[in-house]
Amino acid sequence: MDADKIDTTILAELSTNARISQTELSNRMGLSSTAIARRQRALEDEG
């Protein structure tokens, strides 16, 4: 999987605050919590 701009932004947000909730992250990103969870899981699986 190639990381796109959204994935890169998620990683940047998590690098700044690893304890941010998926709800807060989804609010900042303008995506649903489900979309954030799916992308975060995919990023974790890719390592």
Query: What's the chain's average pLDDT?
Result: 92
Q: 7 and 25 in contact (C-beta within 8 Å)?
A: no
Among 39, 32, 30, 29, CA closest to 7: 39
Average pLDDT over residues 5-32: 94
Task: Give the separation between CA 24 and CA 45, rounded to whole angstroms.
Answer: 22
Complete domains list, the chain, with CATH: 5-46 (1.10.10.10)
Q: What is the pLDDT of residues 22-38, one digit of tens each?
A: 999 999 999 999 999 99
pLDDT band at 2 (very low <50, low <70, confident <90, very high): confident
The per-residue pLDDT for 1 is 59
What is the rounded average pLDDT of the residues 33-44? 94
Which is it for the CA torsion 31, 39, 44, 7, positive or negative?
A: negative
Predicted TM-score of the model (pTM): 0.81
